[in-house]
């Protein structure tokens, strides 16, 4: 489909001729390849999201508002995205225009005293962090990493990440938003809505935080967010990072109040106990099972490759034979990374002592290989900036997380045959078929603290494949189907590999209604989704969003 010329012209009048296009090839660069699984569905070999009718680059909230009003007038769907990290941000159906928010990229304010920043959609974690650090502050960077929009994760998703226990997740950090509603009206959420400035998302003023997010977020299907305020947190280090080294093995030699450790544990129970203890003590600036995304058997070798600019993936087989690497890999079998940040010399001294006591109590250890200065400085920068998050794609180009184990730390780790080991054994069998990377079954990666203060862990078992390879892509899909079936048999429920099946289907378009209803009914809190349906109908009267916003008839 092509927009009627007169409608195109009306859009052009809003954004200017340089900021709109319906060129076919250009539109094809706004389609997501679903052989990449698109977090979390598929992978579907050589299937793409539908081509939009046009791409627009709005430059202001007023332009966004005018566009959305015009969409309502002509009944054209609208999908906004800022950093386009996954299929969430792309059209679901024909008759959709794509808004690319990259021209709205300013940090409007950093309020040092009140510790927040006001940002536009295309501000990313890396730039906000760099600017915040100049004020002795830091921002939470959510799981997809420093490349992604802060606003998108704060307004349209939950935005969890490795530093969540200390720096919160972005839906907690959001203290106000400017929202162009699906009908084109604009509302400012929270205290800013009463003209009182950005300090609290629940008022005084319209408190719509729950409504705009729903259960997990609207993912671009309920209007367009044009600004938001994000709470910042203390940063007791230098600005900018004193980054050194050759690419990609950058590292940062930071002051002694900042330390990075990889902790290993003798069994999963000890692992879980340590999580409770660090939360209880309130230590840890970043805590995440990060490098395990490369897989239990390969992570030691991968850490060596990534921290040495002379090495490539081609060294992996040789490195796996290295006794030192083998020892480190074994030491890291049940592990996570933790960064300690002391606000004062006494604070770091105390945190170090507490960590040592926790390790003593649980029988855990600091993985010796990771204490080597080069690796320490590399790991510290990696964890603080999250500038390498897409290394999950390094092996073959594709990845997705399956199983998805969320809950208290011992939820997956206790018992005679812990759930994490069952999932590992299951995946290991599938790795033998050759369609996914043989990484040792356990690619469980995720946060040690899924909410501010800790309280839960959330893992997904990373699975790596080659999206260019039909057998690998289809084999991965089969594996994910089997994973879901296994989870069902075990009573674990559907895993993360099917998280977005309710919205987008195998052809890259909207999931058929009967399937969608079945999936959402089987999930948690169906009544909440029925309630969300009412929200959707009220706020999106012309149905110009899409099915990522979870609703149930």
Partner 1 sequence: MALEDYLPDMERCSQCSYCKWIPFDQVKSWRFADGCPSIAYNNFLSYSARGRFAVALSLLNKQSTYTDRVVDIIYKCTTCGSCDVSDKICRYNLEPLEMIQELKIRAVEDGQVLPAHTAVIEHLKKENNMMMTPAVERGDWAKGLDVKIIPVEKAEVLFHAGCNYSYDKDLQATARTALTILKNAGVDVGIMGNEELCCGGRAYDTGYKEEFTRLAEKNIKAWKAAGVKTIVTPCADGYHTIMRLYPRLGVNFEVYHTVQYFDRLIKEGKIKLSKSVPMRVTYHDPCHLGRRGEPYIPWEGKEKKVKGQVIVYEPRKPRYNGAWGVYEPPRDILKSIPGIELVEMERIKEYAWCCGAGGGTREAYPDFSNWTATERIEEAKATGAEALVTACPWCERNFIDAVNSTGADIKVMDITDLIKQAI
Q: Considering only residues 5 through 44, tell me which ones interact with partner 1, judged by CB under 8 A.
A: 19, 21, 23-26, 28-33, 35-36
Closest CB 129 distance from partner 1, rounded Å: 8
Host H or E run for residue 262:
strand 258-264
Closest CB 294 distance from partner 1, rounded Å: 10
Residue from 6, 17, 195, 314 touching partner 1 (CB under 8 A): that is 314
For residues 29 and 489, which CB has a smaller minimum distance to partner 1 in the complex? Answer: 29
Longest dimension (CA), the chain: 72
Residue from 7, 50, 83, 457 touching partner 1 (CB under 8 A): that is 83
Please identify, among the stretches 253-261, 310-318, 337-345, 349-357, the one whose residues bind partner 1 according to the rule CB under 8 A. 310-318
268-281 and 345-362 helices, crossing angle to 10°: 150
For residues 105 and 422, which CB has a smaller minimum distance to partner 1 in the complex? Answer: 105
Closest CB 64 distance from partner 1, rounded Å: 15
Q: Considering only residues 233 through 262, tell me which ones interact with partner 1, judged by CB under 8 A.
A: 240-241, 243, 246-248, 250, 252
From the list 160, 51, 49, 125, the residue with the least C-alpha distance to 496 is 160
For residues 194 and 243, which CB has a smaller minimum distance to partner 1 in the complex? Answer: 243
Quick check: helix, strand or coil at residue 481?
A: helix
Under the binding rule (CB under 8 A), the answer on residue 386 touching partner 1 is: yes
Q: What gap in Å lies between CA 482 and CA 430, rounded to an integer?
A: 9
CB 123 within 8 A of CB 81: no
Residue from 3, 14, 47, 57 touching partner 1 (CB under 8 A): that is 57
Query: What phi and psi values does residue 281 have, to the nearest 5 degrees?
Result: -80, -20
For residues 126 and 529, which CB has a smaller minimum distance to partner 1 in the complex? Answer: 126
Closest CB 307 distance from partner 1, rounded Å: 12
Host H or E run for residue 275:
helix 268-281
For residues 96 and 532, which CB has a smaller minimum distance to partner 1 in the complex? Answer: 96
Q: Considering only residues 118 through 177, tell me which ones interact with partner 1, judged by CB under 8 A.
A: 123-124, 126-131, 145-147
Q: Considering only residues 452 through 471, tell me which ones interact with partner 1, judged by CB under 8 A.
A: 464-469
Under the binding rule (CB under 8 A), the answer on residue 424 touching partner 1 is: no
Site string for partner 1, 324-353 (x = CB under 8 A): ------------------------------
Q: Considering only residues 85 through 124, tell me which ones interact with partner 1, judged by CB under 8 A.
A: 85, 100, 102-103, 107, 123-124
CB 386 within 8 A of CB 161: yes
Q: What gap in Å lies between CA 34 and CA 507, rounded to an integer?
A: 9
Under the binding rule (CB under 8 A), the answer on residue 296 touching partner 1 is: no
Closest CB 305 distance from partner 1, rounded Å: 9
Q: Using the CB atoms, write b or e for 186-213: b if 16+ within 10 Å.
A: bbbbbbbbeeebbbbbeeebbebbebbb
Instruction: Return the half-sphere exposure (C-beta side, CA atoms, 13 A cut-off) of residue 4.
Output: 7
Please identify, among the stretches 193-201, 391-399, 493-501, 522-530, the one whose residues bind partner 1 according to the rule CB under 8 A. 391-399
For residues 210 and 434, which CB has a smaller minimum distance to partner 1 in the complex? Answer: 434
- List the Cα angle 535/158/393 in 5-degree steps: 125
Q: What gap in Å lies between CA 256 and CA 346, rounded to an integer?
A: 11
For residues 279 and 462, which CB has a smaller minimum distance to partner 1 in the complex? Answer: 462
Q: What gap in Å lies between CA 436 and CA 399, rounded to an integer?
A: 9
Please identify, among the stretches 157-165, 180-188, 407-415, 430-438, the one whose residues bind partner 1 according to the rule CB under 8 A. 430-438
Residue from 181, 196, 211, 316 touching partner 1 (CB under 8 A): that is 316
For residues 298 and 544, which CB has a smaller minimum distance to partner 1 in the complex? Answer: 298
Q: What gap in Å lies between CA 551 and CA 50, rounded to an integer?
A: 22
DSSP track, 513-530: HHHHHHHHHHSS-HHHHH
Under the binding rule (CB under 8 A), the answer on residue 389 touching partner 1 is: yes
Q: What gap in Å lies between CA 195 and CA 360, rounded to an integer?
A: 53
For residues 5 and 488, which CB has a smaller minimum distance to partner 1 in the complex? Answer: 5
Q: What gap in Å lies between CA 227 and CA 121, rounded to an integer?
A: 6
Structure tokens at 86: 């996954």
Under the binding rule (CB under 8 A), the answer on residue 312 touching partner 1 is: yes
């Amino acid at each position: 489909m092509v927009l009627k010329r007169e409608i195109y012209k009306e859009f052009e009048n809003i954004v200017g001729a340089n900021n709109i296009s319906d060129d076919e090839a250009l539109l094809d660069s706004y389609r997501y390849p679903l052989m990449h699984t698109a977090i979390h569905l598929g992978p579907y070999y050589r299937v793409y999201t539908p081509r939009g009718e046009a791409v627009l680059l709005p430059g202001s909230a007023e332009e966004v508002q005018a566009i959305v009003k015009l969409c309502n007038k002509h009944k054209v769907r609208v999908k906004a995205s800022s950093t386009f990290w996954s299929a969430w941000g792309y059209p679901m159906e024909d008759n959709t225009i794509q808004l690319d928010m990259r021209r709205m990229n300013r940090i409007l304010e950093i309020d040092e005293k009140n510790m927040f920043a006001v940002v536009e959609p295309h501000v990313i974690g890396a730039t906000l962090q760099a600017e915040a650090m100049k004020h002795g502050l830091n921002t939470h960077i959510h799981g997809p990493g420093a490349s992604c929009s802060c606003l998108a994760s704060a307004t349209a998703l939950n935005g969890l990440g490795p530093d969540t226990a200390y720096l919160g997740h972005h839906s907690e950090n959001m203290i106000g938003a400017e929202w162009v509603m699906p009908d084109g009206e604009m509302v400012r959420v929270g205290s800013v809505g009463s003209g009182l400035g950005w300090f609290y998302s629940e008022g005084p003023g319209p408190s719509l935080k729950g409504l705009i997010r729903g259960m997990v977020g609207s993912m671009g299907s309920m209007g367009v967010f044009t600004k938001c305020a994000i709470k910042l947190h203390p940063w007791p280090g230098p600005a900018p990072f004193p980054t050194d080294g050759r690419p990609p093995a950058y590292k940062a030699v930071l002051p002694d109040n900042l330390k990075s450790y990889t902790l290993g544990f003798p069994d999963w129970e000890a692992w879980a106990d340590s999580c409770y203890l660090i939360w209880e003590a309130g230590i840890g600036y970043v805590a995440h099972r990060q490098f395990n995304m490369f897989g239990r058997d390969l992570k030691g070798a991968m850490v060596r490759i990534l921290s040495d600019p002379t090495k490539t993936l081609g060294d992996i087989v040789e490195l796996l034979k290295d006794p030192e690497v083998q020892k480190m890999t074994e030491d890291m079998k049940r592990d996570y990374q933790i960064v300690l940040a002391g606000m004062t010399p006494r604070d770091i001294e105390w945190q170090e002592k507490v960590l040592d006591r926790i390790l003593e109590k649980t029988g855990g250890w600091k993985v010796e290989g990771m204490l080597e200065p080069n690796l320490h400085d590399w790991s510290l920068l990696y964890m603080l900036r999250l500038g390498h998050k897409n290394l999950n794609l390094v092996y073959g180009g594709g990845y997705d997380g399956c199983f998805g184990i969320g809950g208290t730390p011992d939820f997956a780790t206790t018992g005679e045959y812990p759930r994490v080991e069952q999932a590992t054994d299951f995946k290991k069998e599938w790795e033998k078929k050759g369609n996914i990377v043989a990484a040792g079954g356990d690619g469980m990666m995720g946060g040690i603290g899924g909410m501010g203060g800790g309280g839960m862990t959330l893992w997904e078992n990373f699975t790596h494949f080659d999206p260019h390879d039909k057998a690998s892509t289809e084999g991965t899909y089969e594996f994910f189907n089997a994973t879901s079936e296994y989870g069902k048999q075990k009573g674990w429920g559907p895993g993360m590999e099917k998280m977005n099946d309710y919205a987008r289907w195998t052809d890259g378009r909207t999931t058929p209604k009967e399937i969608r209803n079945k999936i959402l009914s089987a999930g948690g809190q169906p009544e909440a989704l029925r309630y969300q349906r009412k929200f959707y109908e009220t706020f999106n009267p012309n149905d110009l969003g899409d099915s990522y916003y979870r609703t149930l008839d």
